């Protein structure tokens, strides 16, 4: 019982870390005009801070995970959170565009590695058959950040100074460091696998197919989410104040969807759960393009899309871990890079038809296409695995 209580506290520390990471990733979107005004730059220039953070995640995930081979996971998580806390706090004191750009890049470096290593650790801390729920607890911090943290951080940034939002992130980082130090069991580092096994894990075509699936499939969600503000104000003709409520509804949906995804991963298999999640995402995004003009329907669909989209988070992370044998932490971390590439590519691709005058609802249509491509990859992988299993059975019978 003592071990179980300890593990619950350790999972809570991981959830708090997810809250802090979600807060720093998304609060910048709410205070972008404040940052731009304070630094005397344009809003598009301030948008570079979002891209710099995402670039840090993409670069840092494989780099920092790769150097963690000989470091016990609990110690590596603490080191990554110290890094995260220092550079997010320094972001609050950035005096100009150049310094802020550098701080945001360095703030993003530990993101992917922390989530990747944390997901594997959560699975190791879980009781038998409860790995999906344990991973979902860590991701729950990120979803709760969208419901509570981002609105509070945005309010503080508006009412006081934009830097207050990043000081808030720093405080959450300190709490996470304390939680990891006090509650995380002293886990041993993974036994060093042979170079051949590590290379086999990384060279696994199925692993790379899953990473592409994450990039494209989750890009469907970000294609819609990136343009939620103009969808609410310009298409549904609701007031600007309703954007905040819409984002809270989306966040609540994410919280529920995250735990639904964990249940689906256990009920089916992780990859089947991903296929179901993305198929449902295609449907709700298409419905949204038709009903977005109705102010009541758009708010309901905002909750539903947030819920459906985050049912994919835990299953895809589990699918990656199960596939990357010998390189679980690296594969898990690289999947976080894929989420951020999906964020950037989804927003960019959805912006193209809007720029050509097709209207904001076209973003949802592009999102549906991306999610459908993700479904195609998932179904293709399922069929490939089924065929491979049949071949193996055939070889057994022939022998």
Question: Could you read off the pLDDT of 275-332 as tens digits, one per residue?
Answer: 999 999 999 999 999 999 999 999 999 999 999 999 998 899 889 888 877 777 778 8
Residue 194 pLDDT greater than 60, yes or no: no
Q: Which residues contact 306 (CB under 8 A, 6 or more apart)?
A: 249, 250, 251, 252, 253, 254, 257
Lowest mean pLDDT among 99-113, 279-293, 318-332, 374-388: 318-332
CB 173, CB 88: distance < 8 Å = yes
* Selection from 55, 144, 148 nearest residue 107 by Cα: 55
Angstrom distances, CA of residue 264 to CA of 127, 136, 363:
18, 11, 28
Lowest mean pLDDT among 78-92, 274-288, 354-368: 354-368
* Selection from 142, 25, 163, 166 nearest residue 88 by Cα: 166
* Selection from 172, 211, 186, 274 nearest residue 62 by Cα: 211
Our separate counts of H helices and E strands in the chain read 18, 0
Q: Give the model's pLDDT for residue 336.
A: 82
pLDDT-derived band at 230, boundaries 50, 70, 90: confident
* Selection from 111, 374, 131, 348 nearest residue 261 by Cα: 131
Residue with tokens 């709700």: 284
Per the structure block, which two tokens stand in for 273?
């759960």
As a CATH number, domain 194-399 is 1.20.1250.20
Asked, colleague to colleague, whether 1-192 and 194-399 share their fold, the answer is: yes
Q: Which CATH architecture has domain 1-192?
A: Up-down Bundle (1.20)
Q: Give the model's pLDDT for residue 379.
A: 95
Per the structure block, which two tokens stand in for 227?
């343009």
Average pLDDT over residues 141-152: 85
pTM: 0.79
Q: Give the model's pLDDT for residue 383.
A: 93
Q: Give the model's pLDDT for residue 398.
A: 57
Residue ranges covered by each domain of the chain: 1-192, 194-399
Angle formed by the axes of helices 32-39 and 48-66, nearest 10°: 100
CB 116, CB 333: distance < 8 Å = yes
pLDDT tens figures, 13-62: 999 999 999 899 888 877 777 888 899 988 667 878 887 888 898 888 88
- Of all residues in the chain, the percent with pLDDT exceeding 70 is 92
CB 114, CB 176: distance < 8 Å = no
In terms of Cβ atoms closer than 10 Å to its own Cβ (0-12, 13-18, 19+), residue 338 is buried
């Amino acid at each position: 019982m003592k071990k179980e209580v300890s593990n619950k506290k350790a999972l809570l520390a991981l959830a708090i870390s997810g809250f802090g990471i979600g807060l720093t990733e998304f609060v910048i979107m709410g205070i972008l005009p404040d940052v731009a005004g304070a630094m005397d730059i344009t809003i598009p220039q301030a948008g570079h801070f979002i891209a710099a953070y995402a670039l840090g995640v993409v670069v840092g995930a494989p780099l920092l995970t790769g150097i963690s081979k000989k470091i016990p996971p609990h110690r590596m998580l603490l080191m990554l959170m110290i890094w995260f806390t220092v550079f997010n706090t320094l972001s609050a004191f950035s005096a100009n565009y150049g310094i802020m750009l550098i701080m945001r890049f360095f703030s993003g470096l530990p993101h992917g590695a922390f989530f990747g290593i944390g997901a594997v650790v959560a699975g190791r801390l879980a009781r038998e058959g409860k790995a999906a729920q344990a991973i979902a607890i860590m991701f729950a911090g990120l979803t709760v950040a969208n419901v509570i943290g981002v609105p509070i951080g945005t309010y503080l940034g508006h009412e006081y100074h934009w830097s207050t939002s990043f000081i808030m992130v720093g405080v959450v980082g300190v709490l996470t460091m304390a939680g990891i130090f006090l509650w995380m069991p002293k886990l041993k580092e993974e036994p060093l696998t042979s170079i051949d096994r590590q290379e086999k894990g990384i060279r696994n075509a199925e692993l790379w197919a899953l990473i592409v699936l994450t990039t494209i499939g989750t890009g469907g969600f970000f294609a819609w989410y990136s343009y939620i503000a103009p969808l609410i104000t310009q298409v549904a003709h609701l007031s600007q104040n309703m954007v905040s409520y819409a984002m809270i509804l989306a966040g609540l949906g994410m919280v529920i969807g995250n735990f639904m995804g964990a249940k689906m991963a256990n009920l089916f298999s992780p990859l089947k759960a991903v296929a179901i999640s993305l198929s449902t995402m295609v449907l709700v995004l298409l419905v949204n393009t038709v009903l977005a003009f109705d102010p009541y329907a758009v708010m309901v669909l905002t909750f539903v899309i947030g819920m459906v989209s985050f049912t994919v988070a835990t299953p895809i992370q589990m699918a990656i871990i199960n596939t990357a044998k010998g390189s679980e932490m690296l594969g898990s971390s690289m999947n976080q890079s894929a989420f951020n590439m999906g964020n950037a590519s989804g927003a960019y691709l959805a912006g193209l038809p809007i720029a050509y005058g097709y209207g904001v609802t076209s973003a949802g249509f592009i999102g549906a296409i991306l999610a459908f491509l993700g479904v195609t990859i998932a179904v293709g992988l399922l069929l490939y695995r089924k065929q491979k299993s049949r071949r193996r059975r055939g070889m057994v019978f022939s022998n």
